[in-house]
Amino acid sequence: MHAIRHHRFGDPDVLRWEQMPTPEPGPGEVLLRVEAAAVNRYDLLSRAGINPRLPLPRTVGIDCTGTVEHYDGPRTDLAPGTSVVVLGDRLGNGGPGAYATHVCITADEVFPLPLDTCDITAACLGIPYVTAYYALFQRHHIRPGETLLVPGAGGSVATAAIQLAHHAGIRVLATSHGPARCSRARRLGADECFDYRADDIPAQVRKATDGRGVDVVINAVGGDTIAQGLQCLRDRGRLLAIGSAQGRQFAFDGFRFLLREQQVIGVNVTPLTPTRRFAIFQKLLALIQAGHITVPIDHFQPMAQAAEAHRRIESGAAFGKTVLIPPPAP
Ligand SMILES: NC(=O)c1ccc[n+]([C@@H]2O[C@H](COP(=O)([O-])OP(=O)(O)OC[C@H]3O[C@@H](n4cnc5c(N)ncnc54)[C@H](OP(=O)(O)O)[C@@H]3O)[C@@H](O)[C@H]2O)c1
C-alpha cells in the first residue's frame, strides 16, 4: 500500500508518498481500500505540529470513505465490497490516517453507506458537517428566527454551518475575502456576506441587525476573529468557539464581555462516540438527498500530491472541500 506520511512536523514539503506493508487486520478490525479522503484544516495543523504528542512517522487524514476488503468479525454489514465511511476520533489522532490506499481500523468506527450514496460526498461530511450540526443543534440550540454570523465562509465547517442554519430558518450573515467568495457564500444560503479584508465587520453587522448585533456566532477561525465576533454579538449573545484555523490564542476585552453578559461556548466533537457521529451523519445524508444542503468541492487532487492541496488551502484560495483520490487498484 501507499500513504502520505511525515517523519517530522513542518510545512507541506514534509509530506511524502511512501510505500509500506499493507496491514493485516486483527480480530474486530476492518481492512478497507480508500475511495476518497477529504482534506480538513486539522490535517494541516497536525502536520505542522499543533499536537506535538502525535507519534511520528504518521499518516495524515481524519476523513475517508472506502470499500471493505477484509473483515473477520461478528458484524454482518461489513462484507467484502461494502462501501463504508469511517467516523471516529482514532483515524487521524494517532490511528492509521486517511491519506492512504488502505486503512485498517476497528469496526466500531466503520459504517456502511446507503446504496445510492456518493463516496466523495460522504467523505466530506465526517468532521466538518458533523461538527457544524452538533454545534448548532446539539451542543447549543439555535432557534428559528435568530441571526447567525459565520466568519470565513469558504471554510469547511463554515460552508456546512451556512447551509444547515439557512435550512433551519436562521438568518445568516457571513464574512469572506473578496466579492467572488462573498457571492458564493450567498449562493449557499447566506443572506448577507461582508468582506473581512475590506469592510468594518462589526459596523456592517450592526447595520444589518438594526444596531442590535447577532444572536449567535459560530467561529471556526479563531485568533483575532473571536474578539471581532464578540463585538458583533448582541447582549447575552452566544459565541460557539470551534477552531483555530488562524490562531489558538483568543484575546478579548473581558470587561466588555461581562458587562454584556455574553457566553463563549467551546465545541469539541472529539468525545462524540462513532455511533453518535453516525446518527448525525445519517441526518446530513437525508438533507443532501432532499437537496437542502450540498458539499461545495474546491477541487480533486491525486492523493500522492497531497502537499499541493495543503499549499492551496494555506494560501487562502480554496473554497469548500478538497478531496484526495488514491490511484486505482492495480
Ligand atoms: N472543535 C472541533 O471539534 C472541531 C471540528 C472540526 C474542525 N475544527 C477546527 O476548526 C477550524 C476550521 O476547520 P476547517 O476545516 O473548516 O478549516 P478551513 O476549511 O481551512 O477554513 C478556514 C477558513 O478560515 C477563514 N479565515 C481565514 N482568515 C480569516 C479572517 N481573518 N476572518 C475570517 N475568516 C478567516 C477562511 O475563510 P474564507 O475562505 O472565507 O476567507 C478559511 O476558509 C480548524 O482549526 C479545525 O481544527 C474543530
Is residue 206 assigned to a domain? Answer: yes
Same domain, 25 and 132: no
Same domain, 169 and 259: yes
What is the percent of the chain where pLDDT is above 70?
100
pLDDT at 116: 87
Tell how far the Cα of 6 is from the centroid of ligand 1, in angstroms. Answer: 23
Is residue 289 assigned to a domain? Answer: yes
Same domain, 104 and 202: no
**Residue 313 CA: which ligand 1 atom is closest?**
20
Same domain, 228 and 256: yes
Same domain, 135 and 256: yes
Contact predicate 240/217, CB 8 Å: yes
DSSP conformational letter for 165: H
Tell how far the Cα of 243 is from the centroid of ligand 1, in angstroms. Answer: 6
323: closest CA among 121, 62, 38? Answer: 38
Tell how far the Cα of 68 is from the centroid of ligand 1, in angstroms. Answer: 32
pLDDT at 270: 95
pLDDT at 250: 84
How many CA atoms, within 13 angstroms, populate the side-chain half-sphere of residue 152? 27
Please provide the DSSP assignment of 103-136 as one string.
EEEEGGGEEEPPTT--HHHHHHHTTHHHHHHHII
DSSP conformational letter for 25: P
The domain that holds 232 is classified in CATH as 3.40.50.720
Which residue has a Cα nearest atom 25 of ligand 1? Answer: 152
Q: Which helix (H) or strand (E) holds 215?
A: strand 214-219
Same domain, 17 and 146: no
**Residue 134 CA: which ligand 1 atom is closest?**
3
Tell how far the Cα of 10 is from the centroid of ligand 1, in angstroms. Answer: 19
Whether 93 has a pLDDT exceeding 90, the answer reads no
The domain that holds 12 is classified in CATH as 3.90.180.10
Domain endpoint, select from 231, 251, 266: 266
Same domain, 246 and 175: yes
Tell how far the Cα of 321 is from the centroid of ligand 1, in angstroms. Answer: 12
Tell how far the Cα of 172 is from the centroid of ligand 1, in angstroms. Answer: 17
Interior angle at CA 127, CA 244 and CA 288, nearest 5 = 125
Domain endpoint, select from 215, 240, 266: 266
pLDDT at 246: 80
Same domain, 8 and 109: yes
Quote the radius of gyration of the chain (alpha carbons, Å).
Answer: 20
Is residue 330 assigned to a domain? Answer: no
For the segment 44-68, the average pLDDT, to the nearest whole number, is 96
The number of distinct structural domains making up the chain is 2
Tell how far the Cα of 323 is from the centroid of ligand 1, in angstroms. Answer: 17
CA distance 273 to 58: 23
Whether 140 has a pLDDT exceeding 90, the answer reads yes
**Residue 176 CA: which ligand 1 atom is closest?**
40
- Of 55-69, 94-108, 236-250, 286-300, the poorest mean pLDDT is in 236-250
Same domain, 133 and 255: yes
Same domain, 43 and 148: no
Whether 100 has a pLDDT exceeding 90, the answer reads yes
DSSP conformational letter for 145: T
pLDDT at 305: 98
For the segment 121-147, the average pLDDT, to the nearest whole number, is 97
Reported pTM: 0.97
Contact predicate 269/131, CB 8 Å: yes
| Residue whose CB lies within 8 A of the most ligand 1 atoms, among 41, 44, 63, 268, for a mutation test | 41
Is residue 299 assigned to a domain? Answer: yes
What is the percent of the chain where pLDDT is above 90?
93
pLDDT (tens digit per residue) in 244-295: 878 778 888 888 899 999 999 999 999 999 999 999 999 999 999 999 999 9
Is residue 185 assigned to a domain? Answer: yes
Contact predicate 5/294, CB 8 Å: no
- What range does the domain containing 213 cover? 128-266
Tell how far the Cα of 263 is from the centroid of ligand 1, in angstroms. Answer: 20
Is residue 293 assigned to a domain? Answer: yes
Contact predicate 143/168, CB 8 Å: no
CA distance 90 to 272: 11
Question: Would you place residue 329 in the very low, low, confident or very high pLDDT band (cuts 50, 70, 90)?
Answer: confident
In the chain, the DSSP E strands lie at 2-6, 16-19, 29-38, 58-59, 63-71, 83-86, 102-106, 110-112, 147-150, 171-176, 192-195, 214-219, 233-241, 263-266, 297-302, 321-325
Which residue has a Cα nearest atom 26 of ligand 1? Answer: 152
Q: Which residues line ligand 1 (CB under 6 A)?
A: 40-42, 45, 127-128, 131, 151-158, 175-177, 181, 196, 220-221, 225, 242-246, 267-270, 313, 316, 319
Is residue 8 assigned to a domain? Answer: yes
pLDDT at 81: 97
Same domain, 63 and 183: no
As a whole number, the mean pLDDT across the chain is 96
Same domain, 291 and 256: no
**Residue 45 CA: which ligand 1 atom is closest?**
47
Other CB atoms within 10 A of residue 327 CB: 11
Domain endpoint, select from 266, 282, 298: 266
**Residue 181 CA: which ligand 1 atom is closest?**
40
For the segment 51-57, the average pLDDT, to the nearest whole number, is 94
Is residue 169 assigned to a domain? Answer: yes
